[in-house]
Amino acid sequence: MSGAMEAEFDTVATWTAEVATALGPEYALPAACRGSGSPPAIDWLCDAVDMSSGDVLVDIGAGIGGPAAYAARQRGAAPVLVEPEMGACRAAEVLFGLPVVQASGSAVPLADGSADAVWSLGVLCTMADQLGLLRELSRVVRPGGGIGLLVYTATTDVPKDRQPEGNSFPSTETLDTLVRGANLQKVDECPAVDLGAGSADWQERTDRVAAELESRYRDHPAWQLAEQQSKKMGDLIGSCTVVGTLLHLRHRT
């Protein structure tokens, strides 16, 4: 993983858990969902995969575990997190007490068909082995189980200097080919932008966490690197060079 990605997904993940703990329990979910998943997006995915109480949800590239913890709270899901960065794994354990496996999304140490539902939010573009991730999602979910993705695709060529380090955004055509290559098919999709960012209250808590992180760590090189990454991502999304889409997939019939 590149230095910038390590700063973003490891060091800042650790700091985020510290800040959320200091601010209070009502900040844990908004802090841990800053990686990508807003409440309306997670609700959409839960509905798509028909999440029910007690369902085992495997979240691959789970970050600090916010989306999975939200699904546990709202739908009674039983999450298992898979995440390669130690800082993020520890942060998820500290904030939510969820079971975490430290591993890559292209080699998940879980049995075939062990999940009722599996998802991966904002992860595919951070991985070199994108087909490997989709194959693991397909392998880990039980036959008939739902597969969710939040994926960022490029609408045009992304100049290298505008690309967040370590990211590679497939075109929608490439993504379709990857989905077919993993023996999956699309059931439904929704542009992330159509679903919004959550309530004003949620937004306020997210902003408070961001402000606290900045006030504590703005002089630290890891914070600055992570900020550059997130600014580049924001610019790409703002200019529609990259778009976020929620996908519901299932095994190809």
Ligand X SMILES: C[S@@+](CC[C@H](N)C(=O)[O-])C[C@H]1O[C@@H](n2cnc3c(N)ncnc32)[C@H](O)[C@@H]1O
The binding site for ligand X (CB under 6 A) comprises: 9, 33, 35-37, 60-63, 66-67, 83-85, 88, 104-106, 121-123, 126-127
What is the nearest approach in angstroms of ligand X to the Cβ of residue 215?
Answer: 22
What is the nearest approach in angstroms of ligand X to the Cβ of residue 61?
Answer: 3
The full 3-state SS of the chain, as one line of letters, equals CCHHHHHHHHHHHHHHHHHHHHHCHHHHHHHHCCCCCCHHHHHHHHHHCCCCCCCEEEEECCCCCHHHHHHHHHHCCEEEEECCCHHHHHHHHHHHCCCEECCCCCCCCCCCCCEEEEEEECCHHHCCCHHHHHHHHHHHEEEEEEEEEEEEEECCCCCHHHCCCCCCCCCHHHHHHHHHHCCEEEEEEEEHHHHCCCCHHHHHHHHHHHHHHHHHHCCCHHHHHHHHHHHHHHHHHHCCCEEEEEEEEEECC
Of residues 33 and 252, the one with the C-beta less far from ligand X: 33
Of residues 35 and 79, the one with the C-beta less far from ligand X: 35
What is the nearest approach in angstroms of ligand X to the Cβ of residue 108?
Answer: 8
What is the nearest approach in angstroms of ligand X to the Cβ of residue 253?
Answer: 27
What is the nearest approach in angstroms of ligand X to the Cβ of residue 67?
Answer: 5
How far, in Å, CA of 217 to CA of 232, rounded? Answer: 19
What is the nearest approach in angstroms of ligand X to the Cβ of residue 237?
Answer: 12
Contact 105, 133 (CB under 8 A): yes
What is the nearest approach in angstroms of ligand X to the Cβ of residue 156?
Answer: 21
Rounded to whole angstroms, what are the CA distances from 157 to 25, 124, 126?
42, 17, 17
Of residues 14 and 126, the one with the C-beta less far from ligand X: 126
Of residues 21 and 144, the one with the C-beta less far from ligand X: 21
Torsion of CA 151, 246, 57, 85, to 10 degrees: 20
